C-alpha cells in the first residue's frame, strides 16, 4: 500500500471548521489578549472565546465517546491545532492544558475514575471547567526523577487512613487559577508517596478536586508571550483526597503516565508551531507582493527575498509532516512509541523561531513594532515553544538521549513504525 498523506473527508471538514472558527472567534481577540496590562486581565480577555470553544464542542474533543466526548485522534487534534494557532496561541493552549490534565485519567484511570472526572468536562457546554497538570516544582522540573530521594519532586502525598494528604508547591501550573482565581475544577498532581524513596519507586499521579481545603492560588506570572495563558503558583497545604484518587500505580508506571501525557502535548506543540510559522510566512509573502520600498518592483522579485521565503516554506512543510507522522505513530501504538512526538516538539518549536525571525528580517524594522505588523507578537509567542512543556534542553533532548542509550534501541524503529515504548512501565 502506498504512503498517503491525503486527508479524509472528515479531516478536511475538521480543518475547515477549525479555520473558520479561528477566523471568526480567535482573530478578533488575539491583539486584545496580548495588549492587556497584566497577566490576569489577558487571561480573562480570552474568556468569551473559550466559552465559544465550549459551545462549538472543542472543549471535549479529546475525551472518549463513551464518556460523552468526541474521541478525536491525536492526528485530528493536530490538524485542528495548526488552524487555531495560526491566529492565536492563547485560547488553544488553555484547551490543551485541559487535555494535559485529563490525559492520565483518560488513559490510565479506572472506569469509575473516568466517569467521575471526565463526565463533567463532557457536559460542560460553556467552557466553565478548567483542569491543570501540577508538575513543575518551584525549584525546577528537569531533575524530577532524581535517583537520590533528596532531589526530584518534593510535593509529598502521605497516606493517612483512607486519604492522601498532599503538601507541596508547584508553579507554571497552566489553568490552575480557574476563571475566578480561586482554583480550577481539578488538578492532576505529580508527587511522591514517600520522601525516602527514589523516583522510580515513589512517584505518583493523584487527582485533586479544586474545591478541596488547603489549595492556595499564589502569584500569577506575567510573560513575554502567551500572555493569555495563565501560569500561577499553586500551594497544596495538607490537602486531603480519597485514596482512590490515585491514577495507576506509584513508581515506574506513574513516571510513564505523565511522560506519555507530555509526549501527547509535545506533538500538538509541533502543530501549533506550524500554525505560527504559517502566520509569519503569509504576512511576509503579502509584504513581498505589495511593497516596493522605494524601488520600482515588488520586493518579492528580488532573489534574496525569494530564497529566504523558500527556506521558510521548506521548514514549514517538513515540520507539518513530521508532526503528522508523530501523531500517526502515537495513535497507532496507543502512546507507546513516543520518539517522534518528542522529536516533533523539539524540531518544530526551534524551526518556528528561525522561520519567524527570518520573516521579520524580510519585513524589516516595521516587524518590530506593534503598530504595523503582527510579527513581533508572533515572535514573542513562538519563543515559548522551545522553553515550556518540558524544555528542549532540560527535558526533551534528555528523553531522546535516554532512548539512544537503551541496548535494544532501533535507529529505524520510529521511521518504519516498529513499536517500542519510550518509557518502560506504561500500558
Active site residues: 389
In terms of residues, how long is the chain?
427
Containing 52, the helix (H) or strand (E) segment is helix 47-56
Q: In the chain, what are the helix, strand and coil shares in percent, each to the nearest 5?
A: 55, 10, 35
Cell of 35: 495588549
Mention every residue, 6+ apart, whose C-beta is less than 8 A from residue 191.
153, 155, 156, 157, 166, 168, 203, 204, 205, 206
Residue 209 bridge partners (DSSP) = 186
Cell of 212: 478541596
Residue 132 bridge partners (DSSP) = 187
Phi, psi of 235 (to 5 degrees): -105, 135
CB neighbourhood size of 251 (10 A): 19
Cell of 145: 526523577
Sign of CA dihedral 281, 285, 288, 290: negative
Per the CB < 8 A criterion, the answer to whether 236 and 168 are in contact is yes
Cell of 160: 493517612
Per the CB < 8 A criterion, the answer to whether 14 and 79 are in contact is yes
CB neighbourhood size of 369 (10 A): 10
363 vs 279: CA distance, rounded Å: 13
Q: Which of 91, 43, 110, 99 is nearest to 71 (CA)?
A: 99
Per the CB < 8 A criterion, the answer to whether 225 and 388 are in contact is no
Amino acid at each position: 500500500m502506498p504512503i498517503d498523506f491525503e486527508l479524509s473527508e472528515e479531516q478536511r471538514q475538521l480543518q475547515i471548521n477549525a479555520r473558520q472558527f479561528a477566523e471568526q472567534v480567535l482573530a478578533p481577540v488575539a491583539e486584545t489578549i496580548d495588549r492587556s496590562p497584566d497577566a490576569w486581565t489577558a487571561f480573562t480577555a480570552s474568556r468569551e472565546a473559550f466559552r465559544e470553544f465550549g459551545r462549538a464542542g472543542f472543549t471535549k474533543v479529546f475525551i472518549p465517546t463513551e464518556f460523552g466526548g468526541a474521541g478525536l485522534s491525536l492526528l485530528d487534534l493536530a490538524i485542528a491545532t495548526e488552524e487555531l494557532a495560526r491566529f492565536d496561541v492563547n485560547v488553544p493552549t488553555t484547551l490543551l492544558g485541559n487535555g494535559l490534565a485529563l490525559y492520565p485519567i483518560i488513559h490510565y484511570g479506572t472506569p469509575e475514575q473516568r466517569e467521575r472526572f471526565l463526565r463533567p468536562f463532557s457536559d460542560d457546554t460553556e467552557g466553565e471547567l478548567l483542569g491543570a497538570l501540577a508538575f513543575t516544582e518551584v525549584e525546577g522540573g528537569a531533575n524530577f526523577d532524581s535517583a537520590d530521594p533528596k532531589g526530584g519532586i518534593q510535593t509529598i502525598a502521605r497516606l493517612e487512613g483512607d486519604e492522601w494528604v498532599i503538601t507541596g508547591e508547584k508553579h507554571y501550573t497552566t489553568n490552575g487559577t480557574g476563571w475566578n482565581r480561586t482554583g480550577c475544577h481539578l488538578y492532576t498532581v505529580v508527587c511522591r508517596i514517600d520522601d525516602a524513596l527514589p523516583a522510580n519507586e515513589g512517584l505518583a499521579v493523584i487527582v485533586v478536586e479544586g474545591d478541596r481545603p488547603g489549595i492556595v492560588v499564589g502569584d500569577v506570572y506575567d510573560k513575554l508571550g502567551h500572555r493569555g495563558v495563565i501560569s500561577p503558583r499553586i500551594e497544596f497545604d495538607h490537602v486531603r483526597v480519597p485514596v482512590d484518587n490515585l491514577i495507576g500505580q506509584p513508581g515506574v508506571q506513574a513516571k510513564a503516565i505523565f511522560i506519555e501525557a507530555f509526549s501527547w502535548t509535545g506533538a500538538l506543540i509541533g502543530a501549533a508551531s506550524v500554525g505560527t510559522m504559517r502566520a509569519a510566512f503569509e504576512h511576509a509573502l503579502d509584504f513581498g507582493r505589495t511593497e516596493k520600498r522605494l524601488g520600482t518592483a515588488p520586493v518579492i522579485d528580488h532573489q534574496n527575498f525569494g530564497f529566504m521565503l523558500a527556506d521558510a516554506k521548506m521548514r514549514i512543510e517538513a515540520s507539518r509532516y513530521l508532526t503528522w507522522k508523530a501523531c500517526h505513530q502515537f495513535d497507532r501504538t496507543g502512546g507507546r512509541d513516543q520518539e517522534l512526538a518528542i522529536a516533533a516538539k523539539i524540531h518544530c518549536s526551534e524551526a518556528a523561531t528561525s522561520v519567524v525571525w527570518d520573516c521579520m528580517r524580510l519585513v524589516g524594522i516595521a516587524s518590530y513594532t506593534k503598530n504595523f505588523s503582527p510579527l513581533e507578537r508572533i515572535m514573542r509567542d513562538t519563543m515559548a515553544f522551545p522553553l515550556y512543556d518540558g524544555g528542549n534542553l532540560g527535558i526533551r533532548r534528555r528523553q531522546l538521549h535516554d532512548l539512544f542509550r537503551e541496548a535494544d534501541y532501533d535507529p529505524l524503529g520510529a521511521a518504519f513504525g516498529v513499536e517500542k515504548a519510550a518509557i518502560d512501565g506504561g500500558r
